[in-house]
Amino acid sequence: MSFATFYQRSIDDPSAFWREQARRIDWHHPFSQVLDDSRPPFAKWFVGGTTNLCHNAVDRWVGTRGEQPALIAISTETNTEKTYSFRELQDEVIRTAAIMQSLGVGRGDRVLIYMPMIAEATFAMLACARIGAIHSVVFGGFASNSLASRIDDAQPVLIVSADAGSRGGKVVPYKGLLDDAIKLAQHKPAHVLLVDRGLAPMEMVAGRDVDYAEHRRLHIDAKVPVVWLESNEASYILYTSGTTGKPKGVQRDVGGYAVALATSMDAIFCGKPGGTYFCTSDIGWVVGHSYIVYGPLIAGMATVLYEGLPIRPDAGIWWSIVEKYKVTRMFSAPTAIRVLKKQPPELMKKYDLSSLQALYLAGEPLDETTSSWISEALGVPIVDNYWQTESGWPILTIAKNIEDKPCKLGSPGVPMYGYKVRLLNEATGALCGANEKGVVVIEGPLPPGCMQTIYGDDRRFVDTYWTTQSPESGRPMYSTFDWGIRDDDGYYFILGRTDDVINVAGHRLGTREIEESISSHPNVSEVAVVGVEDKLKGQVAVAFVIPKVADNTTKGRATLEAEIMRVVDKQIGSVGRPARVYVVGLLPKTRSGKLLRRSIQAICEGRDPGDLTTIEDPSSLQQIKDALRG
């Protein structure tokens, strides 16, 4: 079957198409309706059917693949490696689920997971899925303020954490950050379950904090049955940066997500039971949810969970993992490949990479130089793909297991099955033709696996994503907030964001959130943060501040920059730290007071700042240029 035929079936008759794909997973009770689209944009998939993500990822394989590797946990930070078979993984998940139940966690309760890349983090996610709790994983690099805002939004019954993580040999104490976050948060969790790795001292809070190892021993022989959930019950909340300082809690379902991942693992990632999947992301991001934890396990594959850097102990570490564990499919980000490109080539050539069949890259645009280098070095297909936290699985790529269409350098590919992708002219609202720049939008309903809503805020979900209608059908259209262009062959090219979210090494950061953090410094009067193109990371955040009291000496500016960096580190974490902070006396604004961030960004990147007829004070642009030169 050609991909064009496969795709068109998903658009013309989504119910028949997705009924067929739903056979890829186990259902405890069959669904009565494939799609309920009676209240757009809130689509429900596989209505009435009951299933469970943990069952589909773990339990259903124990009978036929019980001794096969399922989870391969590797840490070059602690020099440890451990492989869990599907049977062993099931045992550990059940023990963790029993601990959670003993601490009062039940169906529909939220569990916040703030953990390094260790096996217990995977156990905790799957344990939540097993008992019908809703997990919310927060990236381990986030600081107390950011963590507190997520605690208040999710209101977890339980938080699962650890004494510390480690990056590049540097210990990052988690417990202190978590204690500070709980103090800052209005919501106080009943319990905190802690894994002690022996990396940093921990002060246990009596009556609240619980030792994981101790409680694991108490529940070593526990039996915890799967809780069968209606397809549209929530599986997890994952926070993503918004254009305001308040993060958005992307809420995902159970059945639709399981079907979407099962289908993508076959059609897009060509995964086969018994293979090994190595995704180099983090469980704090959506890629880690979909293609470290759930996707590969649902496909009956072993999945590699890696804690460490791509260049430590040397830049051959990833390739040594490929050789040792016979990795068949690998998923990473262009930034990581650009880092490896700078390393000695013999570090790759010394390993047997014959098991590897393809490398998938996502999270940021893939440039031609990086793609060509890694393709030649590995000798396997390099498959770009484009998607978002909100979609949960690729929107644009090449589904090589359906049809081996060629990839085009600079393009993630063509729309995937289920996604009715369009380009919309921002000014006129008309659909764009070939080679016309527009906003990438998707006509509703979104396919299975995409976000259901913003947790606890249906109105914000509608107002954020669904403010336009299709000129063709009048149906609501979902905005990706990305600019794009489509060539004559139907391949899409992503050109950057339309809003104030930037992409740093594949991590989405809201510039407003960074601005709010910088504004809390007592000597900052005004601030503008923009994303600036960077050859290594794709984009980096750059800040321009107007101080309340200016010290224009070199030392004074450097001191203020260092203080601001520390503020952002403390409130957001190192992931949000700007690459540079420049001191200026004016910021470019329109006469109505709107900051001209796109003009600032253009100046930083050496481009034309565009139409400036509305600018209040043209000298402010010169101040930006002078700051960059100085």
Residue 244, pLDDT > 70, answer: no
Across 57-73, average pLDDT: 98
Task: Give yes or no: residues 553 and 590 share one domain.
Answer: yes
Cα–Cα distance for residue pair 373/341, rounded to 1 Å: 8
Question: Is residue 254 packed enough to be buried (19+ CB in 10 Å), middle (13-18) or exposed (0-12)?
Answer: buried
Q: Is residue 550 part of a domain?
A: yes
In CATH, what number is assigned to the domain containing residue 531? Answer: 3.30.300.30
Task: Give yes or no: residues 595 and 514 share one domain.
Answer: yes
Across 152-174, average pLDDT: 96
3-state helix, strand, coil in the chain (%, to 5): 35, 25, 40
Q: Is residue 116 part of a domain?
A: no
Per-residue pLDDT tens over the stretch 96-138: 999 999 999 999 999 999 999 999 999 999 999 999 999 999 9
Task: Give yes or no: residues 599 and 551 share one domain.
Answer: yes
Q: Is residue 452 part of a domain?
A: yes
Task: Give yes or no: residues 606 and 507 share one domain.
Answer: yes
Instruction: Assign 78 a pLDDT band (cuts: 50, 70, 90).
Output: very high
Task: Give yes or no: residues 522 and 605 share one domain.
Answer: yes
Residue 402, pLDDT > 80, answer: yes
Who has greater pLDDT, 246 or 190?
Answer: 190
Residue 499, pLDDT > 70, answer: no
Instruction: Assign 506 a pLDDT band (cuts: 50, 70, 90).
Output: low
Predicted pLDDT of residue 245: 60
Predicted pLDDT of residue 369: 81
Query: Is 170 within 8 Å of 574 (Cβ atoms)?
Result: no
3-state SS assignment for residue 423? strand
Task: Give yes or no: residues 487 and 540 share one domain.
Answer: no
Q: Tell me which amino acid residue 333 is.
A: A
Residue 224, pLDDT > 90, answer: yes
Per-residue pLDDT tens over the stretch 248-271: 999 999 999 999 999 999 999 999
Residue 611, pLDDT > 60, answer: no
Predicted pLDDT of residue 612: 62
Q: Is residue 331 part of a domain?
A: no
Q: Which domain holds residue 432?
A: 421-497
Across 371-389, average pLDDT: 93
Please identify, among 449, 472, 497, the residue that sits at the C-terminal boundary of a domain: 497
Distances (CA, A) of 503 to 329, 366, 510: 25, 13, 9
Q: Please tell me whether the peptide bond between 471 and the residue prior to it is cis, using omega within 30 degrees of 0.
A: no
Predicted pLDDT of residue 38: 96
Predicted pLDDT of residue 140: 86
Please identify, among 462, 497, 532, the residue that sits at the C-terminal boundary of a domain: 497
Average pLDDT of the chain is 92
Instruction: Assign 610 a pLDDT band (cuts: 50, 70, 90).
Output: low
Cα–Cα distance for residue pair 511/452, rounded to 1 Å: 25
Predicted pLDDT of residue 142: 82
Q: Using CA atoms in the order 134, 36, 395, 413, what is the torsion angle rounded to 10 degrees? A: 160
Q: Give CA 276 to chain center in angstroms.
A: 21
Across 223-237, average pLDDT: 98
Predicted pLDDT of residue 426: 83
Residue 552, pLDDT > 90, answer: no
Task: Give yes or no: residues 511 and 625 share one domain.
Answer: yes
Q: Is residue 243 part of a domain?
A: no
Please identify, among 477, 497, 517, the residue that sits at the C-terminal boundary of a domain: 497
Residue 4, pLDDT > 70, answer: yes
Q: Is residue 229 part of a domain?
A: no
Task: Report which secondary-structure segment, H or E, holds 528.
Answer: strand 524-534
Cα–Cα distance for residue pair 557/551, rounded to 1 Å: 7
Per-residue pLDDT tens over the stretch 24-57: 999 999 999 999 999 999 999 999 999 999 999 9
Task: Give yes or no: residues 592 and 506 share one domain.
Answer: yes
Task: Give yes or no: residues 510 and 622 share one domain.
Answer: yes
Count of domains forming the chain: 2
Predicted pLDDT of residue 425: 92
Q: Is residue 547 part of a domain?
A: yes
Residue 501, pLDDT > 80, answer: no
Task: Give yes or no: residues 537 and 625 share one domain.
Answer: yes
Predicted pLDDT of residue 21: 98
Residue 424, pLDDT > 60, answer: yes
Report the range of poorest mean pLDDT among 163-167, 530-534, 615-619: 615-619
Task: Give yes or no: residues 572 and 617 share one domain.
Answer: yes
Task: Report which secondary-structure segment, H or E, holds 462.
Answer: helix 458-465
Predicted pLDDT of residue 592: 53
Q: Please tell me whether the peptide bond between 225 and the residue prior to it is cis, using omega within 30 degrees of 0.
A: no
Task: Give yes or no: residues 481 and 506 share one domain.
Answer: no
Across 188-212, average pLDDT: 97
Cα–Cα distance for residue pair 507/286, rounded to 1 Å: 10
Report the range of poorest mean pLDDT among 33-37, 350-354, 375-379, 517-521: 517-521
> What φ, ψ does residue 347 adopt, rounded to 5°?
-70, -25
